[in-house]
Amino acid sequence: MKASIIGGSGYAGGEVARLLLAHPNVELAQVTSESHVGEYLYNVHPNLRGHTKLQFTTPDQIAPCDVLFVALPHGEAQKRIDALSALAPRLVDLSADFRLRDLAAYKKWYGEEHRAPNWIGKFVYGLPELHRAEMKSASYISGVGCNATATNLALLPLVRADLLDASRPIIVDIKVGSSEGGNSPSLASHHPERSGSVRTFSAVGHRHTGEVEQELGLTNVHLSITSIEMVRGVLATAHCFLKAGATEKDLWRAYRSTYKDEPFVRIVKDKTGIYRYPEPKILAGSNYADVGFEIDEATGRAVSLCAIDNLMKGAAGSAVQAMNLMCGFAERAGLEFAGLHPI
């Protein structure tokens, strides 16, 4: 099966290329970049040296293929969706353009009208843990927000088990690595300004809140994002209150019931050791999401955690996992890398 990538010079597009080059069922046919036309992929993504001799092409040189991955900056896919959809019968868009199903919600979180409103309902939201069945018959799958993914996977067991006290707010503190900002340099990414920083850049009103509200049906959830000294990774720490009488055994049942059959979600909750809670560092390059929790039974307060690699489970990894489901491949195909330790 042939797959191509529109917008392959960014970090997420580069990760899709890396995964597809090693995928047992896929031939990576073409990759575009408007700023690197004619250059080898490995000139931009040096980890791909020796794995491919593909050169970046322009979008108008893309030939029809079986699956098209779109990794353009936000807002671009919706402008071109009619032309893009004509290139392949199946399309996975990594941007935020088609994640939100409600046009009013899109305008609220992105500050503008959607430019392809008739396409919104055609896309399945791209988190397999939530939409596996729909993906198997889908033609169009959206991307996922990395912060939304970590939050959704942290809170999903509590929502499904109906353990949350809906009258109390859910506060999610999210720590992220620098790659979340993309590969375009700025003052904020300049080494003397970035190195050693612990910098909150979105204390309230983060756009990914809309995805959490949509996917979990929550109306009282609040995200705060802080960048730390890390390149890859997201750690979501969700502070919430449970219904009266909830116990640790209830949480164990909820988490095991939700994730016992999930190929890429692992429960991490040990009594000893430095990795007794989820840690994004050891997930770099992998598609795993590690989740954990604690509860103070005396107060009903629970803390739920989820760690991911923002470029993998929060972007390219989930996209390839979605492609596997859409195309009938083994769900783990091309995604078996376990991460590194030490790193």
Of 146, 240, 306, 327, the active-site residue reads 146
Q: Tokens 């909820």 correspond to what residue? A: 254
The answer to whether the Cα torsion of 93, 334, 16, 304 is positive or negative is positive
Q: What is the pLDDT of residues 316-337, one digit of tens each?
A: 999 999 999 999 999 999 999 9
Which one is the CATH code of 146-308: 3.40.718.10, 3.30.360.10, 1.10.10.10, 1.10.275.10?
3.30.360.10
- Put simply, whether the predicted model's pTM sits higher than 0.95 gets the answer yes
Q: What is the pLDDT of residues 80-132, one digit of tens each?
A: 999 999 999 999 999 999 999 999 999 999 999 999 999 999 999 999 999 99
Q: What is the pLDDT of residues 242-254, one digit of tens each?
A: 999 999 999 999 9
- Look up 146 and say whether it is catalytic: yes
CATH 3.40.50.720-classified regions of the chain? 2-123
Amino acid identity for residue 297 in this structure: E
Annotate 159-182 with three-state secondary structure.
HHCCCECCCCCEEEEEEECHHHHC
The whole-number pLDDT of residue 279 equals: 97
- DSSP letters spanning 199-216: EEEESS--TTHHHHHHHH
For residues 280 and 174, the answer to whether their CB atoms sit within 8 Å is no
CATH 3.30.360.10-classified regions of the chain? 146-308
Nearest to 225 by CA among 208, 204, 202: 202
CATH architecture of 2-123: 3-Layer(aba) Sandwich (3.40)
Q: What are φ and ψ of residue 44, in 5° steps?
A: -95, -40
